[in-house]
Structure 1
Amino acid sequence: MSSEPAPDREPRLAARVAALLAPHASLLALATLLVLTSTALTVAAPLLLQKIIDEALPAHDVALLGLLCGGMITAGFLSNLTSLYQGRLIYRVGQRVVHDLRMKVYDQVQRSPLTFFASESNSRTQSILVSDIGEISDTLTFSLQSLLLSGTGLLAAVGVIMALNWKIGLLSIVLALGLSLVNRRLARRRFMLTNLRQDRVADMMRRVEEDLSYLGVVAGRTLGRTGFQRGRFLAASLDTARLTFEERMAGRTGYAWFGSALACIPPAIYWVAGTAFPEISVGTIIIIAMLQMRLTDPIENLMLVSADIQSSLAVFKRVFAVMDLETDPSIEPSREERDGSAGTPLPRPPATLELDGIGYSYPGAARPALTGVNLTVRPGEVTMLAGPSGSGKSTLGLIIAGLLTPLQGGLRLAGRPVDPRQLRGVVTLVPQEAPVFNASIRENLLFGRPDATQDDLERVLGAVRLTSLVRSLPAKLDTVVGERGYELSGGERQRLALARALLSPSPILVLDEAVSALDVITGAEVHASVLHHCADRSLIFIAHRIPVLAHEDTVVLIDQGRVTEHGTHAGLLDRHSAYAHLVRSQTTVAAPAPAPAPVPDTAGQPDS
């Protein structure tokens, strides 16, 4: 993303900002009406003061003096009251717009293709959702309110001055226009600096996310690079501070000169009125001077608000860039999902999943990740996807789970074409780095099935051999596992994620290196227990370490995105195939496994 939009894009950017406010036009109109009322009441006070000076005081008219003073008090009270309510309206509109905008950005990112999350920094998304939209909140509340108050106050003051003496009023208008033109040039630099600063803030957040995470701290300490990590954060922080200072100070020198110039106006009015316009009354001269003094704050506020709005356009640009991201059509909610009506029910198990000529390529990749993959997954069968690193096994798992849309070929369930959205309703994937949330063990499990009972939770914990661990914890199931689950070991995190997947009602499970963090003995026991627990489900294993398989289990060997061997476990071993060589090289027991039985969850077993 460029640091500053092209000039011809600015009108379109402003139009999009205006479109955000359009649904709240009625509230904004009411707020504007209250601002006009407050401004009129504010202007009334000096006019009443003019009458006091020119008429009531010289004539010693107590009744008129009381009436005029009472009018000033009433005008001041009503002005502040209307100002209070218009502020409430502006804040309400601002927060509604910010909430809507934040949800639109969240939804847009959530609907983005899976490849977006691999290439885009999560800290940048966080910066936009929190920092950028937070700045927009300030713009839509404080800046918008200041714009309305200062703008109407300036117009009202100029109008009264014009009525009292049009020559001085004309001078005021010329001055305001001149300052506005100069301010536009000053604001452009602040616009550019704001955009650069937000990029640096995102970079700094990325450093914090990487270096101060559990894995970042471990890497820095074990490799002796903590000083390097601190140094690059220091550089990012200094750069952010420098840009923030330059942004805040941009145009401040000009504003100081303008303030000094405006401060010279009242003495000049007294001098001009006393020499060139002797016929003007004392009250009129004082009121003109007061109103000219009141021009100072609105003009300076308008200059600052204009700069804030100009700089906030850079923030809006970043937010709109996210809102314009390409989305994955398969993530879009269907009409049935939006209105809550039931769609056409998918075939439930037993049902056969067929992959026909599946092909996929990642953007910018030198070769396709998958080419012409054919595969049949029958109900209750175990399928093993094997192959070297980078062969395309995990990509195939993502396609089967409906997380990637194949670029060639298609998928069928029970003979009917099925799209990625429907696949996600019948397939659950457990990746090697499965997410564990900073919540309790119970909450992590219920994420897979919110209506699961206590018995359900205990059953899946037993299946992955976590019962003893949970019982040993002070809060049992309600123990919080920490950021990314780092209160648990790597193997415990993997088993917790696997237990969550076992809770899901999906008839097909894809386990991608789901027990890679376990030792050989524990991994074999969990594998056997999962087979028993999922006897009525289709299981697809993706692993470098081949688990114990039965004779009839299906094996698919993938190399450079193509299926090079496909058959049963026993059949491929008998042919002395590449798969057989892979199994022997890992010294995996090749004998057919007996009918698996539940493995008791005993304490004291090793875990990596």
Structure 2
Amino acid sequence: MRPTRLEKPAATQNNLKTIAALLPYLWEFKARVILALTLLVLAKVANVSVPLVLKEIVDALDQPRAELMLPVFLLISYGVLRLCSTLFGELRDAIFAKVTQRAIRRVAIKVFLHLHSLSLRFHLERQTGGVSRDIERGSRGISFLLNFMLFNILPTLLEIGLVLTILIGRYDIWFAGIIAATLLAYIALTLIVTEWRMIFRRTMNNMDSKANTQAIDSLLNYETVKYFANENWEARRYDEHLQAWEKAAVRNQTSLATLNAGQSAIIAIGVTLLMFLAADHVIAGSMTLGDLVLINAFMLQLYMPLHFLGFVYREIKHSLADMERMFTLLGENREIMDKPDAQVLSANRAAIRFDHVDFFYESNRQILFDVTFDIPAGQNVAVVGHSGSGKSTLARLLFRFYDVQSGCISINGQDIRDITQQSLRAAIGIVPQDTVLFNDSIYYNIAYGRPDATSEEVFAAARAAHIHDFIERLPLKYETVVGERGLKLSGGEKQRVAIARTILKNPAILIFDEATSALDSESEKRIQAELKRIAINRTTLTIAHRLSTIADADQILVMEQGRIIERGTHQQLLAANGTYAHMWELQQQEEIAQTKQPAITIRQPSL
């Protein structure tokens, strides 16, 4: 599909914005950039001087034998200029290397931090494999763009300008005219065909990202694939993207061959016309043999960088296409941002209030309706309800992963929208229902709660979470790697690591989101006792499914379809004989039924 007239200016504007975004990174090293550009000019002056010296050498040698003398100075000058044209270029690359690598590093970390600053909504919708591939290609594109724009396009244009100036000043205007016409035809062909070929490149990038996304998603869900014996199904899905990529890649390569053939034809025609004109002038006696060699050398000398210029232009367009997706990530709007005058949270003796909170993820599906409750400092408020009632949404809102649509959430009277996100999240610790660990050591995952903690503090947190003895029995102890998302650990072991991590963080506010759901009854009782101990004097929000774990909470909220329908202590709610009392009765009956059945233990694979 051809780009429309509106798309072309937009693409050009985006390319200019991308290039402009890189300029501050270049100017950080002013001295290096200026020195590199100086060496660039010197290298090109030396390069253009080589044919001039060669002409003098040929003319000096094109004499009768009686008058012939060895042009030693000219021969030495020829060798020195050859060396300088290469040496200055290598020095330029060495000096500029730090500028390029620093720019790549700065842009990469900027994208990385920006991705972490985006809302949970973005990360729930993202495709990790595609995002990682976009960043990888974009980083490579920066390196290519900086090096080749400055050190190939600019010097080539400089060299063309010098050659045309010399030809116009010393020879017939037709020589400069033929070279100028050849260059214009070459550049026009390159620009037109390259713009056409960009469609294939963008398709390749898109299919490459999709294939990578699908591959990573499939590998991350390896066990699920195996459970349903869907290896061939996954391979077919992967191959669908690869087929589209292959088709675009073939068209990309064949169009490149067409472009190269056209470029070579234009250069061949130009060189042939120049040689005819030069030979005619030599025969007429208006030019020497050295002049013919000079013009031929100039054309051949321009041919190589010009041919390379076509390649560079194509690759710069490809690099801009590669960077386009990465810089699109930087353009993603940060849904949750600190106000310019945001204050640091005063979390000492934290009291939490949800005040008439309404919230929806999508405008057509409201999750919370007029939710109001308080968690006094040092108390434990539990929330229960069926799946989808909005319990876990309360935790996400308290962390300010989303902003409420109406009402407000405050801590010690401070609206959480008026305080810095960093100070808010530093004051809250969570033990989630679904614990995801980093593919690193157990020590790293526990210490993640407070990276500057000492080893003894990490070990103490592990003991408090009743996982220290288990870790010590492992061959590598705390250096044991837990695998992707912690899959080498059982659910209960991952949960204990999460509890240890939260204990180590030592926050003022605690959130237990089904914190013991992955534990057996015996372990649950031990961990519950430990959680109660660490929750003393801390403000705690407990989201629970098993009502027996929250029977001693200071207050229990019962939620249904985003509304609080009951509230009170365990005894008060039982006495009310409402929804909570019914849930309690059902769970008690289930526990009695389980105790009468023979236990069937399915051991999860663990380290």
TM-score, scaled relative to structure 1: 0.89
Deviations 1:312-332 (CA, angstroms, capped at 9, x unpaired): 222232222211111144468
> Which one is further off, 100-109 or 223-232?
100-109
Question: In 1, Cα distance between the equivalents of 2:494 and 2:379?
Answer: 27
Question: In 1, Cα distance between the equivalents of 2:228 and 2:219?
Answer: 15
User: Displacement of 1:104 after TM fit?
Assistant: 2.0
Alignment of 1:68-87 (within 5 A): 68-87=74-93
Residue 18 of structure 1 corresponds to: 19
Q: 1:169 to 1:139 in 2, by over 3 A?
A: same
Q: 1:509 to 1:52 in 2, by over 3 A?
A: same
Residue 43 of structure 1 corresponds to: 48
User: Displacement of 1:507 after TM fit?
Assistant: 1.4
Question: In 2, Cα distance between the equivalents of 1:535 and 1:222?
Answer: 44
User: Displacement of 1:219 after TM fit?
Assistant: 1.0
> Which one is further off, 200-209 or 580-589?
580-589
Alignment of 1:428-439 (within 5 A): 428-439=429-440
> Which one is further off, 228-237 or 26-35?
26-35
Q: 1:455 to 1:255 in 2, by over 3 A?
A: closer
Residue 406 of structure 2 corresponds to: 408
AA matched with 2:17: R
Q: 1:65 is matched with which residue: 47, 51, 71?
A: 71
Question: In 1, Cα distance between the equivalents of 2:100 and 2:461?
Answer: 47
Residue 596 of structure 1 corresponds to: none
Q: 1:344 to 1:457 in 2, by over 3 A?
A: closer
Residue 356 of structure 1 corresponds to: 355
Question: Is the contact made by 1:123 and 1:206 (CA closer than 8 Å) also made in structure 2?
Answer: yes
Deviations 1:4-28 (CA, angstroms, capped at 9, x unpaired): 9812223422332332343324444
Residue 370 of structure 1 corresponds to: 368
Question: In 2, Cα distance between the equivalents of 1:359 and 1:219?
Answer: 37
User: Displacement of 1:142 after TM fit?
Assistant: 4.0
Q: 1:581 to 1:71 in 2, by over 3 A?
A: same
Residue 392 of structure 1 corresponds to: 390
Deviations 1:554-597 (CA, angstroms, capped at 9, x unpaired): 1111122111111112111111110111122122899xxxxxxx
Question: Is the contact made by 1:157 and 1:294 (CA closer than 8 Å) also made in structure 2?
Answer: no
Q: 1:345 to 1:505 in 2, by over 3 A?
A: same
Q: Alignment length, in residue pairs?
A: 583
Q: 1:435 to 1:42 in 2, by over 3 A?
A: same
Question: In 1, Cα distance between the equivalents of 2:555 and 2:199?
Answer: 59
Question: Is the contact made by 1:518 and 1:607 (CA closer than 8 Å) also made in structure 2?
Answer: no
Residue 292 of structure 2 corresponds to: 285
Residue 557 of structure 1 corresponds to: 558
Question: Is the contact made by 1:143 and 1:308 (CA closer than 8 Å) also made in structure 2?
Answer: no
User: Displacement of 1:229 after TM fit?
Assistant: 0.8
Question: Is the contact made by 2:185 and 2:266 (CA closer than 8 Å) also made in structure 1?
Answer: no
Detail structure 1 runs of 4+ shifted over 4 Å in the superposition: 2-5, 59-64, 604-608
Residue 214 of structure 2 corresponds to: 207
User: Displacement of 1:89 after TM fit?
Assistant: 3.7
Deviations 1:411-434 (CA, angstroms, capped at 9, x unpaired): 222334333624313212232223
Deviations 1:264-314 (CA, angstroms, capped at 9, x unpaired): 444443333333662211110111112112222222222221222223222
Question: In 1, Cα distance between the equivalents of 2:259 and 2:438?
Answer: 51
Question: Is the contact made by 2:129 and 2:217 (CA closer than 8 Å) also made in structure 1?
Answer: no
Q: 1:193 is matched with which residue: 188, 197, 200?
A: 200
> Which one is further off, 321-330 or 56-65?
56-65
Question: Is the contact made by 1:358 and 1:409 (CA closer than 8 Å) also made in structure 2?
Answer: yes
Q: Tell me, what secondary structure is at the counterpart of 2:361?
A: coil
Deviations 1:124-156 (CA, angstroms, capped at 9, x unpaired): 221222122223322322454222333323333
Q: 1:437 to 1:347 in 2, by over 3 A?
A: closer
AA matched with 2:538: R
Residue 244 of structure 2 corresponds to: 239
Question: Is the contact made by 1:546 and 1:588 (CA closer than 8 Å) also made in structure 2?
Answer: no
Q: 1:482 to 1:347 in 2, by over 3 A?
A: closer
Question: Is the contact made by 2:190 and 2:310 (CA closer than 8 Å) also made in structure 1?
Answer: yes
Deviations 1:177-227 (CA, angstroms, capped at 9, x unpaired): 1221222211112322222222212112211221112xx211111111111
Q: 1:272 to 1:344 in 2, by over 3 A?
A: closer
Residue 98 of structure 1 corresponds to: 104
Q: 1:534 to 1:466 in 2, by over 3 A?
A: same
- 5+ unaligned residues in a row in structure 2: which ranges? 592-600
Residue 161 of structure 2 corresponds to: 155
AA matched with 1:487: K
> Which one is further off, 306-315 or 166-175?
306-315
Alignment of 1:308-387 (within 5 A): 308-330=315-337, 346-349=346-349, 351-364=350-363, 366-387=364-385
> Which one is further off, 246-255 or 168-177?
246-255
Residue 309 of structure 2 corresponds to: 302
Question: In 2, Cα distance between the equivalents of 1:405 and 1:529?
Answer: 33
Q: Tell me, what secondary structure is at the counterpart of 1:548?
A: helix
Question: In 1, Cα distance between the equivalents of 2:255 and 2:582?
Answer: 69
Question: In 1, Cα distance between the equivalents of 2:401 and 2:440?
Answer: 25
Q: 1:167 to 1:352 in 2, by over 3 A?
A: same
- 5+ unaligned residues in a row in structure 1: which ranges? 337-342, 591-603
Q: 1:416 to 1:231 in 2, by over 3 A?
A: closer
Question: In 2, Cα distance between the equivalents of 1:586 and 1:327?
Answer: 43
Question: In 2, Cα distance between the equivalents of 1:142 and 1:344?
Answer: 47
Q: Tell me, what secondary structure is at the counterpart of 1:389?
A: coil
AA matched with 1:519: D
Residue 509 of structure 1 corresponds to: 510
User: Displacement of 1:435 after TM fit?
Assistant: 2.5
Q: 1:28 to 1:242 in 2, by over 3 A?
A: farther
Question: Is the contact made by 2:544 and 2:550 (CA closer than 8 Å) also made in structure 1?
Answer: no
Question: Is the contact made by 2:513 and 2:543 (CA closer than 8 Å) also made in structure 1?
Answer: yes
Residue 460 of structure 1 corresponds to: 461
Alignment of 1:242-257 (within 5 A): 242-257=247-262
Question: In 1, Cα distance between the equivalents of 2:383 and 2:376?
Answer: 15
Q: Tell me, what secondary structure is at the counterpart of 1:179?
A: helix
AA matched with 1:226: E
Residue 340 of structure 1 corresponds to: none
User: Displacement of 1:345 after TM fit?
Assistant: 6.3
Question: Is the contact made by 2:390 and 2:561 (CA closer than 8 Å) also made in structure 1?
Answer: yes
> Which one is further off, 57-66 or 516-525?
57-66
AA matched with 1:524: K
TM-score, scaled relative to structure 2: 0.89
Residue 184 of structure 1 corresponds to: 191
Residue 339 of structure 1 corresponds to: none
Question: In 2, Cα distance between the equivalents of 1:532 and 1:505?
Answer: 12
The question of 1:138 aligning with 2:163 is answered no
> Which one is further off, 5-14 or 387-396?
5-14
Question: Is the contact made by 1:53 and 1:282 (CA closer than 8 Å) also made in structure 2?
Answer: yes
AA matched with 2:151: Q
Question: Is the contact made by 1:35 and 1:152 (CA closer than 8 Å) also made in structure 2?
Answer: no
Question: Is the contact made by 1:551 and 1:570 (CA closer than 8 Å) also made in structure 2?
Answer: no
AA matched with 2:358: G
AA matched with 1:296: Y
Question: In 1, Cα distance between the equivalents of 2:415 and 2:274?
Answer: 83
Q: Indicate the percent of aligned positions where both proteins have the same amino acid.
A: 23
Q: 1:331 to 1:195 in 2, by over 3 A?
A: farther
AA matched with 2:85: S
Residue 6 of structure 1 corresponds to: 7
The question of 1:168 aligning with 2:175 is answered yes
User: Displacement of 1:470 after TM fit?
Assistant: 0.6
Question: Is the contact made by 2:347 and 2:427 (CA closer than 8 Å) also made in structure 1?
Answer: no
AA matched with 2:248: L
Q: 1:566 to 1:62 in 2, by over 3 A?
A: farther
